[in-house]
Amino acid sequence: MFGQFDFGVITRNLPYLIKVGMAFTIELTILVIVLGIVFGTLLAMMRLSSIKVLSAFATAYINLMRSVPLVLVIFWFYFLVPYIGAWIIRSPTPVRVGAFLSSVITYSMFEAAYYAEIMRAGIQSIPRGQVWAGYALGLNYWQTTARIVLPQAFRNMVPILLTQTIVMFQDTSLVYVLSITDFLGAASKIAERDGRYVEMYIFAAVVYFVICVVISFLVRRLQRRIAIIR
């Protein structure tokens, strides 16, 4: 069945696929994990805040992001970021933003809404008594949150945060719609150049599959270890 195919096209282009493509995918994923969790936690704190304006804003933002497709959000930010940049540095013309920076901003802002909902569940899983105990000891809001609530919330939510991260890693492939060369973009550029669609897309599928299966296996092991400690 595979007689007519030339899988040598993969080995010949491996350096390009890994050094250009996979490097972009992994850098983007790591930056978005960090920024997404930071913004997500802030959004979750805002949503649970007793200050009405903050919680209304956070709720609206999270619901908006969660009800539109990622592809549309990618297009939104791709066109919006140059205008926001211009507004920040008071430039009369839209600012040119690189593909990488644009993707980092897009995915961080989108992913933050999903991480926020996970962190909200995490924060709500901590009994309120712990917060009152913190206040009773004379800690202020920021001290209670940073030292008592968030460490426990993170620990409770680690498995779900990681599962969401695997989904996000897979979804970075959607930068394809902006013709950016991530791992899938590199594979599809070679596929188009050499007319080797079957070989390249099967290879891309296998690579994503192996990475995701290995990470979810590690997540499950971690989940079991956390379960024993508790």
Partner 1 sequence: MNYHWNWKIFWDLTPEGSGTYLHTLLVGLLWTLATALAAWVIALVLGVIVGVIRTTPRKWAGRFCNGYVELFRNIPLLVQMFLWFFVIPELLSKHLGDAIKHMPPPWASYVPAVLCLGFFTSARVAEQVRAGIQALPRGQRMAGTALGLTLPQTYRHVILPMTFRIILPPLTSEFLNIIKNSSVALTIGVVELTAAARAMQEFSFQVFEAFTGATILYILTNILVIYGMRWVERRVAIPGFIGPAVQAGGH
14: Cβ contacts below 8 Å, ≥ 6 apart = none
DSSP 173: G
176 contributes a contact to partner 1 by CB under 8 A: yes
Nearer to partner 1 by C-beta: 47 or 196? 196
Candidate residues 30, 101, 167, 226; the one interacting with partner 1 per rule CB under 8 A: 167
197 contributes a contact to partner 1 by CB under 8 A: yes
The residue whose two tokens read 């800690």 is 139
Task: Point out which span in 6-14, 15-23, 133-141, 193-201 binds partner 1 (CB under 8 A).
Answer: 193-201
Distance CA 61, CA 108 (A): 13
Specify whether the CB–CB gap between 181 and 20 falls below 8 A. yes
- Give the CA dihedral 30, 103, 170, 44, nearest 10 degrees: 70
Nearer to partner 1 by C-beta: 50 or 67? 67
Site string for partner 1, 80-99 (x = CB under 8 A): x--x--xx----xx------
Q: Give the nearest distance from C-beta 204 to partner 1 in angstroms.
A: 5
Task: Point out which span in 11-19, 69-77, 100-108, 129-137 binds partner 1 (CB under 8 A).
Answer: 69-77
Nearer to partner 1 by C-beta: 43 or 168? 168
Q: Give the nearest distance from C-beta 184 to partner 1 in angstroms.
A: 6
Nearer to partner 1 by C-beta: 57 or 76? 76
Task: Point out which span in 28-36, 54-62, 135-143, 157-165 binds partner 1 (CB under 8 A).
Answer: 157-165
Query: Which of these, 215, 200, 202, lies nearest to 170 by C-alpha position?
Result: 215
Query: Which of these, 130, 107, 111, 129, lies nearest to 119 by C-alpha position?
Result: 111
Applying CB under 8 A, the residues found at the interface with partner 1 are 1, 64, 67-72, 75-76, 79-80, 83, 86-87, 92-93, 114, 160, 163-168, 170-171, 173-174, 176-177, 184, 188, 191, 197-198, 201-202, 204-205, 208-209, 212-213, 216
